[in-house]
Each structure stands twice: as C-alpha cells, then as structure tokens.
Amino acid sequence: MSGNPLVAKRSDHVDPWAGIWIAEDIESICSGVKNGSWVDGSLGVLGAGLDGLAFVSDPVGVLLQYGVAWIIEHVKPLTEALDWLAGDPAQIAANAQTWRNIAQDLHEQAGNVARDVRLDTADWIGVAGDAYRTRSQQQQGALNGLGRAAEAMALVTEGAGLIISTVRVLVRDAIAMCVSRLIVYAAEEAGSLGLATPLVVEQVTMTVAAWAGRISRYLKALLASLRRLLPIIRRLGELIEELKNILRVFRDGDSGAPHEPEEPPKTPHGKTSGDLKGRKEVVVNDPADPGRTITDIDEVKDGVLWEDKSAVWAGDNARWVDKQIVKKLDSYLEARQHLPGYENAPIGIRMTEPNVDSSLRSAIEAAIGQFRVDHPGVDVRLEFNE
C-alpha cells in the first residue's frame, strides 16, 4: 500500500471518539470559541483578521499640520491605548499553526494505530481479540481527542488575537472621530484670533473626555471577554490531562496503575458499604448487573449527593444540559437507591467555575426547574460559584 491513506479527513475514520466521553466537552469548547459566545456583547462581531494588531497610522498626527500642540497634549492619553493593544499578528498566526501541526500529528498517530491493529489482528478471532480491538479503539479515541484539543487551542489562540485586534481598530477609529472634531474647534480658535480660546478649551476637554469614556468601555469589554476565556482554557487543560491519563493506562498497563481510582468496597449485594460522609468519587454499580456502573457521585457532603460541573458555557446549550444535567440527575436517582441511608437523599448540581455564560445558566436553571416538576418528591439542589 503506497503513501499513508490514513492521513485523511477525520470524517473518513471509524468513529474517532468511540468510548471517549471527553470528546463531547472538547467539541463544545471548539463550538463555543467559534461562535464567539465568550465575546462581550458590546463589542459586536470580531474582525476578519489580525492585521489590526500591526502598525496603524496615528490619527493624532493630523493635528500637527494645524500647529495646535496644546490640543495634542489633551489627546495623547487616548493614543496610549493603541500602544497597549499592539501585537505581532504573524507570531499569533504561527502559534495557532503550531497547535494545528500538533493536532495533525496526533490524528496521524491514531490512524497508524488503527492500521497496525487492523493488519496485525485480522486473523485473531475470539473474546481476547475482540477485547484487544476494543481497547485499541479507546486508545485511538484518546489520541484523536488530544488532536481535537490541540485544534481547540489553535482556535483559542486566534480568538484572543482577533478580539484584541478588533478592539484596537475600534480605538483607532474612535480617536480618528475625536480628532476630526478637534480640527473643527482648532479652526474656530484660529479664526477668532484667540477670542474663542476659552470656549474651545472647554469644548476640547469635554470632547476628549467623552471619547476617553468610550475607549474605556471598549477596554473593559476586552478584559471581560479575555476573562471568560481563562476558565475555558483551564477546562481544556483538565480534559487534556484526562486524555493523558487514559493513554498512561495503555503505556503502563492496568496492573497497579497509580492514577486509577479505587472503587469503594461493595457488599455481596452490590451496594456501596461504609460511611459515605465526606467521600468523593463514589462509584455505584448496578446490583443486578455488577459489570454496569450506574454513575460515580462526585462528593457526599452534608447528606447531599453532589455532581460537580466546571463548564462555563456550551456550544449547544440544550444538548449539553440534557447530557450533563438531566441525564446525570436521572443516574443519581437510580444510584441512591443502592446507597444505604441515602435512598431519599437530596441530589444536586454544583457549577464550580465562576462567570457561567448567562444563556447556559438560564438553560441549567430551566432544566432543574423542570426536573423538580417531573420529580416532585425529590430535593434537587443547584449551586453556582458566584
């Protein structure tokens, strides 16, 4: 077979996310970064390129030909914002491309694993062969997941650069508009032979103050947007660590792997035993089918069974809420029946990160409200990290 037919569009692969739930969170991050839901609404749509970070002509320079140095001194603080927002568009593009190169390499590695397993186990028939191929699919899924995470980092890198570029252009245009008005005032002052100077000074001061306020709002919106990216980046880092842990299992083997959490002890009937107060990562198996895990409860605290979520926004709110909130609460209802003393315990969702996107928060609150209606006898809690 000539060439490398596995280096192709991912849509040509057998399900690259098989068995890897983390992929859905990564896809949500990619979708959210692309649709700009993290961008402060006052900034509108991001610009089309990074060129605004490069050198731009200083609008204040126009004032020089009018010989009004005292006006330039008033405007100078505005132009400092242009310097603050300057950047290197070529370097940002290079950093983003580096992440895409990493992504491509990881996808190629996943393809190579798929090819080798397909060729090496073609004649391996039986339970052991099937188990090996299933395990290999999980490894491929983890590699593809890391590739998709690298693509998400490229999107975040470009997104941060684009919003700074957009704000820089807005600031430049604001200064230009301010200068155009000041030129009119300068002409009035010159035409009055100095008699209108006090009035012109007042006009200049008020005009500069007004435009300084607008530029300040642009900068605040920029900072608010970048702050929304921080928990997204942290969440992406957590997902990357999860995928790395999965790959360590394949590297180190199952026996004695220190990163694998131990399951809590089970009674002969499959119920979790012992005092659960303060326990974390409580795994609850189905007594009727010990091989089936109902769910894992993140923490048992003050009698409440808590599920922790770190998302701050989702590309598809409805889909995310259905999977991560509604279905999780359903699993908690089923699981608590097998926890002695907690059969009627309250269940809850804790959003662990601050600044949850308003639309996602509304979707979560609506889902919790509907869940309470559908299960009137259940105490359902919801907490946000305010």
Fold of 280-384: Rossmann fold (3.40.50)
Residue for token digits 């596995």?
6
Question: Are 18 and 141 in contact, with CB atoms under 8 Å apart?
Answer: yes
Q: What secondary structure, in 3-state letters, does 197-258 show?
A: HHHHHHHHHHHHHHHHHHHHHHHHHHHHHHHHHHHHHHHHHHHHHHHHHHHHHHHHCCCCCC
Sign, CA torsion 250/253/259/263 = positive
Sign, CA torsion 282/285/287/290 = negative
Token pair for 74: 């008033």
Residue for token digits 């900034």?
43
Q: What pLDDT sits at residue 79?
A: 67
175: helix, strand or coil = helix
Q: Which CATH class is domain 10-252?
A: mainly alpha
Q: Residue 270: left if φ>0, alpha if ψ -120 to 50, beta else—which one? A: left
Q: What pLDDT sits at residue 362?
A: 92
Do domains 10-252 and 280-384 share one topology? The answer is: no
CA atoms within 13 A on the CB side of 106: 24
Q: What pLDDT sits at residue 262?
A: 44
Task: Please state the domain extents for the chain.
Answer: 10-252, 280-384
Maximum pairwise Cα distance, the chain: 101
Question: For each of the chain's 386 residues, which pLDDT tens digit applies?
Answer: 444 443 333 333 333 333 346 777 787 778 778 777 777 776 765 554 555 545 444 454 444 444 444 555 556 666 676 667 766 777 788 888 899 999 999 989 888 888 888 888 878 888 888 888 888 888 888 888 888 889 989 988 888 888 888 888 788 777 777 777 777 666 665 555 555 556 666 777 777 788 788 888 888 888 888 888 888 888 888 888 888 887 877 766 543 333 444 444 443 344 454 577 888 888 888 888 877 889 889 899 999 999 998 877 776 788 889 988 999 999 999 999 999 989 999 999 999 888 888 888 999 999 999 999 999 999 999 999 87
Q: Which helix (H) or strand (E) holds 384?
A: strand 380-384
Q: What is the CA radius of gyration of the chain?
A: 29
Cα separations (Å) of 372 from 29, 59, 341, 358, 377? 29, 59, 22, 21, 8
